[in-house]
Amino acid sequence: MNFNDLKSDFRMTSDGDNWGNCLSWWFTIADEIYFNRENLRVPESWRFKPSMCGPSNEANRWETIAVLEADDVSLMKFGHLISRYASLLKHLGKDY
């Protein structure tokens, strides 16, 4: 799964709750990087705090499946895109 595939899957999972969808993907990406990708590090700017119980991803969720199949470069690039999207939503007052 490459960067464009991840963007496409993200759009397909949009259910009108932009903030919830964004955070669900972002947390899934951060969990995957932190717990499963030895060569990657979660950027400090994401302010991610891992759960002591391990990743909280539900195995059957679309974003979990997509993220698990993504290559490292695409995953990091998409994670940065989602980070910027979260900042934009917050700036527009669309967070909760």
Query: What's residue 51's pLDDT?
Result: 82
Query: What's residue 55's pLDDT?
Result: 74
Is 56 part of any domain? yes
Query: What's residue 52's pLDDT?
Result: 80
pTM over 0.85: yes
**Domain total for the chain?**
1
Nearest to 94 by CA among 4, 18, 34, 40: 18
Report how far residue 7's alpha carbon sits from residue 63's, in angstroms, rounded to the nearest whole number.
11
Q: Which residues in the chain show pLDDT less than 50?
A: none
Instruction: State the residue range of the domain holding 36.
Output: 3-91
Is 34 part of any domain? yes
Query: What's residue 14's pLDDT?
Result: 87
